[in-house]
Amino acid sequence: MTSAKDDEDFWYSSEKRSFCFENNEVDQLFGVSKTDTDKLWAGISNTSTAEGSLKTSTDYQPLKPMLSIISEKTLSCILATDKLQNLHPETAIVQPDITLRKILLGQPYSLEQYKSLASKTALLDTAIINGDGNAILIIILFLTKTLKRSLVQRILAERPDAVNVYIRYLSIRLQINEITDILTMLGQSMDAAMKTLHIIIKNTRDPDRLLNKLRNSYKTQFSALTDCKEASFVQSYIKLLEWQMAVKKLDGNEDIELNSSVLNCLKHACKGHWNLSENTLMSPTILSQQHDVSPRQYQKVALEVRASAAEWDDVDRLLLTKGWLGSKKLQIYLPIEDVLKILHNNNAPSEVLEKYLKYVDNIERRLELAKNMHCFRIAIDILVQQADRTALMEYKTKLQPQSEEYFYAESALRLPSVKWKS
């Protein structure tokens, strides 16, 4: 049996010793050098000591060496991987397809890893290929926050689908200047002007602000456009608003609403300013001339308004003009039947209706209209002219007995100068 001394000699003489209990030197552990690990541990220990100095002695807990928790080889791999990621942060993380899938599915996502211009444009192109407007807008807004404005516009200029999505977003947020810049850069000045006009009209309620915005839009956009039919529309709209505001200020009532149509304004002018001179701003004639109201439209509106007011002399001045030798000549732009219908709907007296029934050329049509409008004199005179005794007697049965029209029919039947057909 080996003595204790022999055992002691064995430990001190062994070439494969891993640790010497009486020696303070740290040698190699299983063939792995701990030089770098000691440096790391020294740094961690110094930091821990500095933090621990703020604690009381009762709170102090001894720290375990890192290598007692994790092997040096594993630690080296972690440090090497972290170093590689710091050198190439995007190569391993940027995946547009995966990021877009998360956006579409409503899953948590981050765009912070997209730092280069190439990665950002790749992400945008992926969203455009997919065709989802919300995803496209999310990425465009990310670009506007991380890139210069001129660079974003250049990127959008090459992608019409993205432009359409962004323009809709800007329209909702009423960002007119940004819309104008983008569309003008794309050579779409007319579209920019029309988009601006649409936003202004739809979202501006105050009449003074609306008028100022329209004037500015015309000055900065529409006036520079050649062959733009809408430019004349904007000019007319500005004049109409100016007319409406002047009328509202003059009349001091709510008869006319701002942003009313030209024809509604014309109705108001025919009702409240009919007798004004034609050179006056409020005159119906001036208003119709400024806004290219056709003679037919003007006559119809004026006739309806003056007939509803029972101003039959005004109706005659509107529809009749002087002829040869002081006679009256019909001057209308409406069909005569439309004129008669308007007069009848506004309860025109029989003498007024009879006056204009005479201008219906077709005798049969005139007879039919006379019967429908209860113009018995015209109807009876036509039947007498046709010498149709049977038809006159039949018409007489439909008249109220002992009435004026009944006696007029009886007198016509007894006329000796008429050669009746039957």
Span 220-253, pLDDT tens digits: 889 888 788 888 889 999 999 998 888 888 776 6
> Is 376 inside a domain boundary?
yes
> Is 164 inside a domain boundary?
yes
> Is 325 inside a domain boundary?
no
Point out the domain boundary residue: 141, 173, 205. 173
Question: Is residue 366 within 8 Å of residue 378, measured between CB atoms?
Answer: yes
> Is 139 inside a domain boundary?
yes
**DSSP classification of residue 254:** S
pLDDT, tens digit, for every residue of 359-408? 999 999 999 999 999 999 999 999 999 999 999 999 998 888 888 889 99
Tokens coding 71: 């092997």
Question: Is residue 240 within 8 Å of residue 265, measured between CB atoms?
Answer: yes
pLDDT tier at 259 (50, 70, 90 boundaries)?
A: confident
Point out the domain boundary residue: 173, 194, 227. 173
3-state secondary structure 327-343: CEEECCCCCHHHHHHHH
Structural domain boundaries enclosing 146: 93-173
| Structure confidence at residue 355 (pLDDT) | 93
The count of structural domains within the chain is 2
> Is 384 inside a domain boundary?
yes
> Is 146 inside a domain boundary?
yes
- Average pLDDT value for residue range 249-263: 77
| Structure confidence at residue 6 (pLDDT) | 54
Q: Using the predicted structure, report yes or no on whether residue 257 has a pLDDT greater than 50.
A: yes
> Is 112 inside a domain boundary?
yes
Point out the domain boundary residue: 138, 173, 208. 173
> Is 305 inside a domain boundary?
no
pLDDT, tens digit, for every residue of 108-143? 988 988 989 999 999 999 999 988 899 999 999 999
pLDDT, tens digit, for every residue of 305-349? 999 999 999 999 999 988 777 778 899 999 999 999 999 999 999
Which residues, 6+ apart, have CB-to-CB distance to 37 below 8 Å?
A: 66, 67, 72, 75
Tokens coding 283: 């005159």
Q: Who wins on pLDDT, 73 or 362?
A: 362
